[in-house]
């Protein structure tokens, strides 16, 4: 899919702004400075495709209701969809005719991609690019997460996974006591204990219950009596309100019956009568006015007169009238042209006389007509002579001056010394200067060496576990492997952590045992609760007695040993009875206290389980202590070669840092010493070189400073260079003067030859004219001007003669046309004054035209007046018919009678309306009763005793209410005592039970939330892994190529390796074999890696799906020009597969684009700054 065009009809500060995307190009570069509307257009794309948000910042110029964007989408198969998008709740997609379109049509073109997916996958700016690079760093280059993040555009993927893990850990964790679910379970267990402790005990409350129920019945009976009296009171109050209205209704019904003979009339009866009476009077007046108008127009028509035949010659008269002005001009111009002719004739004769030709035949002027080429030749030659003479003179003067200058320069050259080649001196100076200021560098190195020695001494002095010199320290066999120390540290922390966890668990189990034992003591303090083992012991004792008795019954003798063990000296019958009673008592007690027994048994079982756990935990703690002892031995053995008694791993890591700093500083010291020695050798070599070179040029210097020696060498070079340049300049000047002298000789010869050629051409041109060969060029030029003037006057004379003849022909033709008109208006047909006759005829024609138009208008007005008369007669007839119908409906014969009947009918309607209002009021007062019920109730009522009955009922209600109040107060005391004794003991249990239900609900919510987050985390990880397995090979292969180009070959590509957790991770390949982790790359490289993965993912998507435009907003702000060029090339290649819309406000992007491609490969659109 691609966007063909957008029209921001009303959006942001744009009004009817068109943005066309060339269909023949797929890369569209949109440039605009700040405030040009680039960001607004970016938002318009998303709003056009997916709709306007509820709250928008683009409605400051146009209101929300007027926001509108039009455009056109096109699929890869050529199918197009043109639509407009408006802001609203529904029907926001419109076709060309503003008819609603189904949103699913747009979604189909977008391949079902949501707005969030479009923004994440197919929109990229420099902020998202930087976030993508940071995401790669957070994931440590994890292949699955990197591919999924780049493809989906979700730059905070790592944060999402960590957030899900954090939320699940905060809700539940094994052996974690402070998580939400674990805390809630512990609190629920405590509430269960509370409920058990506060079980309601049985109380003697029957007497209290009887008092409570009897009082309740008496109060309810009293309330029922009050209810009945209140009902009767409402009835009497209602009758008191309805009886007057019922009487008024009866009176209105009697008046309505008196008007029963009045016929029912239409609602608009009076209005129709008045309206048609008005129509009747208006029609009469209209008819009268039309008849008067008809008579007046007929009189005007008879007074009009039009001359016969004048209108038939209208076009001829109007044509002559238009031509009359030209006729007047011709009559006026004829004597002027004739005078001009005579004047030109005299002028030509005078010029001929000046040229020595006295004659009356002016046609001999043709002899002086010279063709243009000859005239131009003579004039050019006349102007050339002064210039040619001047050139010859200047050439001679220049030749003499150059000969003098040559002699002078040759004399100067004789006094200048010849300097040899300065190459050896310049080479020596350049070598020394190329090394920079060696004296300053020498001082800096000496200072660095001194600082290194001081720092090294301080570090060794402050190093723990060592007391010796730097040489002794460097001889130590220190196991300088931080990873090994970190491994020891990890083992140490793991062992210490396990020991701490085991001690904590032992403490928790010990505290749990104490809690269980405390609860058992609490249960036993309430009553003696036997255990199942006690019951089993009692029953076993009882069975032993029965065995003794049964043996006696079977054999007749007791087993004395068994008898003594069972009876303990007590008679056998009493001992057996006691054992049976004891077993039964224990069983009864277990049954009656079953709940407490069960709790106690559970507590005992929990105590046993905790003791077992403590035993296991103690064993595990001993194992961990053994591991710690082994670790200590290995740790000390690790440092034995260095003869160091080690501290903790963390402290030894810090010790190694200091030790490595000492090694680095010692290495730096050695390097500085070597650099200082090399510098001294180089300095001595350069001093010898400069001294040797200066001696060769005759300069002797006594100094050991390289800087001073270099200054002398540069001064010598400048002096010798100036002398050499001066001699070279003089020699060059001699060459230039010699060349100028040769040029001056040639110039003198050419000037002389040109003057001779001019003389020959001049004589050849003059001999064709009747002019003396000795005449100067100026004289010849004046004669040529006279010839030309004479010929020009002759030509003007001939042209004037033609004008005079044409004027005479036009005058004659006009006068013939005037005479051909048949008319009786004028007889003033004088030659050269025919225009006056035409004016008279034209005035008469205009009057005839006006009269004819007036005649036509009057005929139309007469017809209209007749039509008005007919219309008025029809209106008279219609009004009379309507009035007759109204009289018939009312049953009368005159308008006066009709008015009286209308008044009576109106009175009848008013009475009917009042009756209806009274009945509505009665029904409203009846509290849901029908009108008939209210009327019957009023008929049965005794109107005379109504007020007395009402007062009597109100008195009874007052007395009963007083009694009810006293009884309720007395009953309230009993009720309060009853409720306290019934509910008081159970209050704590009920409260605990409510809290328990609330806690169980919270546990359910926490559990559901935990499952949701856990499933989300698992599903997201599974999806990421599935995407990796499906797309790793094609995307990584392509991303490797792009990454190599984006980094300008700094990396050879990408590969997949496995980290310590056996997870596949992306690594950069450098120098064919070197592997670079993502964490080891620069910020710029990680940004370029993310961009490579993003582009490869888009290419992979468009290969299998409908292409979606890739919107890019200034992603190159952190790229240099070279990398920016390469990125633009890659995006140009991507545009062969999908549309690219690249926004930028950096003009350098345009310059880079022009440098890598022609304008035929992309479309450039420049936005102008818009001021709102």
- Give the position of tokens 């350069």: 686
Cα 1026 from Cα 147, distance rounded (Å): 11
Cα 365 from Cα 798, distance rounded (Å): 12
pLDDT of residue 81: 92
Decide if pLDDT at 83 tops 90. Answer: yes
pLDDT digits (tens, 9 = 90+) for 699-748: 777 776 777 777 877 787 787 787 778 877 877 888 888 888 888 888 88
Mean of pLDDT values over 1092-1106: 86
The answer to whether the predicted template modeling score (pTM) of the entire model surpasses 0.95 is no
Query: 682-715: string of b/e by CB count within 10 Å (b at 16+)?
Result: bbeebbebbbebbeebebeeeeeebeebbebbee
Alpha helices, H only, 767-833: 777-819
Q: Are 1 and 73 in contact (CB under 8 A)?
A: yes
Q: Which residues have a Cβ under 8 Å from the Cβ of 306 and sit 6 or more positions away?
A: 848, 851, 852, 855
Q: Are 918 and 243 in contact (CB under 8 A)?
A: no
The phi, psi pair for 3, rounded to 5°, reads -100, 125
- Give the position of tokens 């200021």: 437
Decide if pLDDT at 600 tops 80. Answer: no
Decide if pLDDT at 1003 tops 80. Answer: no
- Strands 1064-1070 and 1074-1077: what pairing? antiparallel
pLDDT of residue 832: 67
Cα 23 from Cα 44, distance rounded (Å): 20
What is residue 142's three-state secondary structure?
Answer: strand
Decide if pLDDT at 987 tops 70. Answer: no
pLDDT digits (tens, 9 = 90+) for 1010-1061: 777 777 776 666 665 555 555 556 788 888 899 889 898 888 888 877 666 6
Q: Which two tokens stand for residue 584?
A: 């039964």
The phi, psi pair for 1068, rounded to 5°, reads -85, 145
Which of 1017, 1066, 1018 lies closest to 162 in space, CA to CA?
Answer: 1017
Decide if pLDDT at 156 tops 70. Answer: no
pLDDT digits (tens, 9 = 90+) for 455-499: 888 888 888 887 877 777 777 788 877 788 888 888 888 888 888
Mean of pLDDT values over 230-259: 80
Q: Which residues pair with 320 in a beta bridge?
A: none
Q: Which two tokens stand for residue 838?
A: 């035409």
The phi, psi pair for 915, rounded to 5°, reads -60, -45
Q: Which two tokens stand for residue 495?
A: 């062992």
Q: Are 192 and 1000 in contact (CB under 8 A)?
A: no
Instruction: Between 3 and 276, name the one with better pLDDT.
Output: 3
End-to-end CA distance of the chain, in Å? 34
pLDDT of residue 854: 84
Which of 148, 109, 118 lies closest to 132 in space, CA to CA?
Answer: 148
Q: Which two tokens stand for residue 858?
A: 């009057």
Q: Are 71 and 6 in contact (CB under 8 A)?
A: yes
pLDDT of residue 94: 92
Mean of pLDDT values over 353-379: 73
Q: DSSP string covering 581-643, please?
A: HHHHHHHHHHHHTHHHHHHHHHHHHHHHHHHHHHHHHHHHHHHHHHHHHHHHHHHHHHTGGGT
Cα 24 from Cα 471, distance rounded (Å): 76
CA 1132 to chain centre: 25
pLDDT band of residue 1137 (cuts 50, 70, 90) is very high
Q: DSSP string covering 44-93, please?
A: HHHHHHH---SS-SS-SSS-GGG-EEEEEEE-TTS-EEEEEEE-SSS--E
Q: Which residues have a Cβ under 8 Å from the Cβ of 616 and sit 6 or more positions away?
A: none
Q: Name the strand (E) or helix (H) holding 80.
A: strand 80-86
CA 460 to chain centre: 61
Q: Which two tokens stand for residue 839?
A: 């004016």
Query: 726-739: string of b/e by CB count within 10 Å (b at 16+)?
Result: ebeebeeebeebee
Q: Which residues pair with 1064 in a beta bridge?
A: 1058
Range in 430-444, 587-601, 864-878 with the lowest mean pLDDT: 587-601
pLDDT band of residue 914 (cuts 50, 70, 90) is confident
pLDDT of residue 977: 64
pLDDT of residue 64: 87
Mean of pLDDT values over 592-619: 81
Give the angle subtended at the CA of 1026 by the CAs of 1022 and 1031, to the nearest 5°: 150
3-state helix, strand, coil in the chain (%, to 5): 75, 5, 20
Alpha helices, H only, 891-945: 895-925, 931-940
Tell me what percent of the residues of the chain surpass a pLDDT of 90: 8
Cα 290 from Cα 181, distance rounded (Å): 103
- For residue 345, the tally of other CB atoms under 10 A from its CB is 15
Q: Is 1032 exposed, middle or buried (0-12, 13-18, 19+ CB in 10 A)?
A: middle
Instruction: Between 368 and 711, name the one with better pLDDT.
Output: 711
Which of 157, 134, 133, 128 lies closest to 1023 in space, CA to CA?
Answer: 157
Which of 606, 607, 604, 611 lies closest to 529 in space, CA to CA?
Answer: 604
- For residue 289, the tally of other CB atoms under 10 A from its CB is 14
Q: Are 901 and 892 in contact (CB under 8 A)?
A: yes
Tell me what percent of the residues of the chain surpass a pLDDT of 70: 88
Mean of pLDDT values over 434-454: 82
Give the angle subtended at the CA of 705 by the CAs of 704 and 707, to the nearest 5°: 150
pLDDT digits (tens, 9 = 90+) for 669-679: 888 888 888 88
- For residue 1059, the tally of other CB atoms under 10 A from its CB is 13
pLDDT digits (tens, 9 = 90+) for 22-55: 988 999 999 888 777 888 888 899 999 999 998 8
Cα 658 from Cα 664, distance rounded (Å): 10
Which of 908, 912, 899, 911 lies closest to 259 in space, CA to CA?
Answer: 908
Cα dihedral across residues 368, 374, 376, 379: positive or negative: negative
Cα 581 from Cα 588, distance rounded (Å): 10
Mean of pLDDT values over 385-397: 82
Which of 64, 59, 65, 42 lies closest to 119 in space, CA to CA?
Answer: 42
Q: Quote the mean pLDDT of the chain.
A: 80
Which of 1134, 1129, 1107, 1101 lies closest to 1116 in space, CA to CA?
Answer: 1129
pLDDT of residue 201: 40
- Strands 2-11 and 68-74: what pairing? antiparallel
Q: Are 165 and 173 in contact (CB under 8 A)?
A: no
């Amino acid at each position: 899919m691609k966007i063909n065009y957008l029209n921001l009809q009303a959006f942001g500060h744009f009004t009817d702004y068109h943005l066309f995307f060339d269909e023949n190009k797929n890369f569209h570069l949109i440039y605009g400075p700040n405030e040009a509307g680039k960001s607004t257009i970016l938002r318009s794309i998303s709003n056009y495709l997916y709709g306007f948000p509820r709250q928008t910042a683009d409605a400051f110029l146009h209101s929300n209701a007027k926001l509108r964007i039009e455009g056109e989408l096109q699929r890869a198969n050529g199918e197009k969809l043109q639509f407009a998008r408006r802001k609203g709740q529904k029907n926001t997609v419109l076709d060309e005719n503003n008819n609603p379109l189904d949103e699913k049509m747009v979604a189909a073109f977008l391949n079902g991609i949501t707005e969030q997916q479009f923004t994440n996958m197919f929109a990229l700016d420099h902020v998202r690019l930087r976030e993508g690079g940071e995401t790669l760093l957070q994931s440590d280059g994890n292949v699955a997460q990197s591919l999924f993040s780049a493809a989906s555009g979700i730059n905070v993927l790592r944060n999402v996974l960590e957030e899900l893990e954090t939320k699940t850990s905060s809700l539940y964790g094994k052996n974690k006591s402070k998580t939400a679910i674990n805390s809630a379970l512990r609190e629920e267990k405590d509430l269960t204990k509370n409920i058990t402790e506060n079980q309601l005990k049985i109380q003697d409350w029957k007497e209290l219950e009887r008092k409570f129920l009897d009082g309740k019945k008496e109060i309810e009976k009293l309330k029922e009596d009050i209810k009945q009296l209140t009902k009767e009171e409402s009835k009497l109050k209602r009758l008191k309100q309805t009886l007057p209205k019922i009487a008024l209704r009866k009176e209105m019904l009697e008046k309505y019956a008196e008007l029963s003979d009045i016929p029912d009339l239409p609602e608009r009866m009076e209005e129709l009568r008045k309206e048609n009476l008005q129509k009747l009077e208006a029609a009469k007046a209209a008819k009268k006015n039309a008849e008067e108008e008809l008579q007046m127009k007929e009189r005007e028509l008879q007074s009009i007169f039009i001359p016969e035949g004048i209108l038939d010659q209208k076009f001829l008269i109007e044509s002559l009238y238009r031509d009359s002005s030209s006729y007047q001009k011709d009559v006026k111009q004829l004597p002027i042209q004739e005078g001009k002719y005579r004047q030109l004739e005299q002028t030509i004769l005078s010029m001929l006389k000046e040229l020595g030709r006295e004659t009356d035949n002016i046609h001999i002027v043709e002899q002086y007509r010279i063709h243009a080429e000859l005239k131009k030749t003579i004039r050019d030659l006349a102007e050339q002579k002064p210039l040619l003479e001047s050139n010859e003179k200047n050439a001679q003067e220049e030749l003499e001056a150059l000969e003098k200058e040559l002699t002078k320069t040759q004399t100067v050259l004789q006094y200048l010394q010849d300097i040899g080649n300065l190459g050896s001196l310049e080479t020596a100076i350049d070598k020394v200067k190329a090394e920079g200021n060696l004296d300053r560098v020498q001082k800096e190195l000496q200072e660095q060496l001194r600082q290194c020695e001081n720092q090294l001494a301080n570090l060794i002095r402050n190093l723990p576990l060592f007391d010796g010199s730097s040489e002794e320290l460097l001889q130590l066999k220190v196991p300088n492997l931080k990873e090994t120390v970190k491994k020891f540290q990890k083992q140490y922390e793991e062992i210490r952590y396990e020991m701490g966890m085991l001690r904590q668990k032992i403490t928790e189990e010990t505290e749990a045992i104490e809690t269980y034992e405390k609860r058992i003591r609490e249960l036993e303090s309430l009553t003696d609760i036997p255990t199942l083992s006690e019951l089993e012991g009692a029953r076993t004792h009882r069975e032993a007695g029965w065995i003794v008795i049964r043996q006696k019954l079977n054999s007749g003798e007791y087993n004395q040993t068994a008898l003594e063990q069972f009876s303990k000296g007590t008679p056998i019958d009493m001992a057996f009875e006691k054992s049976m009673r004891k077993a039964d008592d224990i069983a009864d007690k277990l049954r009656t206290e079953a709940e407490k027994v069960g709790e106690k048994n559970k507590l005992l079982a929990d105590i046993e389980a905790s003791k077992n756990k403590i035993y296991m935990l103690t064993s595990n703690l001993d194992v961990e202590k053994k591991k710690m002892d082994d670790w200590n031995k290995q740790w000390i053995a690790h440092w034995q070669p260095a003869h160091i008694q080690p501290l903790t791993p963390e402290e030894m890591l810090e010790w190694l840092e200091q030790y490595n700093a000492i090694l680095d500083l010692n290495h730096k010291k050695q390097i500085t010493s070597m650099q200082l020695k090399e510098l001294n050798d180089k300095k001595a070599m350069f001093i010898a070189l400069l001294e040797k070179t200066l001696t060769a040029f005759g300069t002797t210097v006594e100094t050991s400073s390289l800087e001073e020696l270099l200054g002398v060498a540069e001064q010598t070079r400048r002096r010798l260079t100036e002398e050499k340049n001066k001699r070279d300049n003089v020699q060059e000047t001699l060459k230039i003067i010699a060349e100028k002298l040769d040029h001056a000789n040639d110039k003198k010869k050419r000037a002389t030859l040109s003057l001779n050629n001019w003389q020959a051409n001049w004589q050849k041109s003059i001999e064709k004219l009747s002019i003396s060969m000795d005449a100067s060029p100026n004289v010849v030029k004046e004669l040529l001007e006279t010839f030309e003037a004479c010929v020009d006057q002759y030509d003007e004379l001939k042209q004037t003669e033609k004008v005079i003849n044409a004027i005479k022909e036009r005058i004659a033709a006009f006068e013939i046309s005037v005479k051909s008109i048949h008319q009786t208006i004028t007889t003033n047909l004088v030659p050269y004054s025919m225009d006056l006759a035409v004016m008279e005829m034209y005035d008469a024609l205009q009057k005839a035209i006006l009269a004819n138009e007036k005649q036509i208008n009057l005929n139309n007005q007469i017809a209209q007046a007749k039509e008005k008369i007919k219309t008025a007669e029809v209106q008279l007839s219609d009004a009379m018919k309507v009035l007759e119908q109204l009289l018939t409906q009312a049953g009368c014969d005159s308008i006066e009678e009709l008015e009286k009947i209308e008044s009576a009918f109106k009175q009848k309607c008013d009475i009917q309306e009042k009756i209806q209002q009274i009945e509505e009021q009665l029904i409203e007062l009846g509290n849901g009763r029908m009108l008939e019920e209210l009327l019957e109730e009023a008929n049965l009522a005794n109107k005379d005793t109504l007020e007395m009955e009402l007062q009597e009922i109100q008195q009874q209600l007052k007395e009963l209410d007083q009694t009810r109040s006293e009884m309720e107060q007395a009953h309230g005391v009993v009720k309060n005592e009853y409720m306290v004794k019934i509910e008081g003991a159970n209050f704590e249990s009920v409260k605990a039970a409510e809290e328990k239900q609330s806690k169980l609900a919270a546990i359910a919510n926490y559990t559901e939330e935990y499952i949701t987050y856990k499933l989300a985390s698992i599903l997201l990880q599974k999806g990421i892994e599935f995407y990796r397995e499906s797309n790793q090979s094609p995307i990584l292969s392509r991303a490797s190529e792009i990454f190599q180009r984006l980094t300008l070959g700094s990396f050879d590509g990408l590969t997949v390796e496995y980290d310590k957790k056996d997870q596949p991770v992306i690594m950069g390949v450098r120098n064919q074999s070197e592997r670079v982790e993502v964490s080891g790359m620069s910020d710029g490289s990680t940004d370029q890696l993310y961009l490579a993965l993003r582009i490869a993912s888009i290419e992979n998507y468009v290969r299998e799906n409908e292409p979606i435009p890739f919107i890019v907003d200034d992603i190159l702000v952190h790229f240099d020009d070279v990398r920016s060029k390469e990125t633009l090339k890659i995006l140009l290649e991507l545009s062969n597969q999908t549309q690219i819309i690249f926004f930028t406000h950096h003009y350098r992007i345009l310059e880079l684009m022009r440098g890598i491609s022609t304008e035929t490969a992309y479309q450039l659109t420049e936005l102008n700054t818009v001021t709102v």
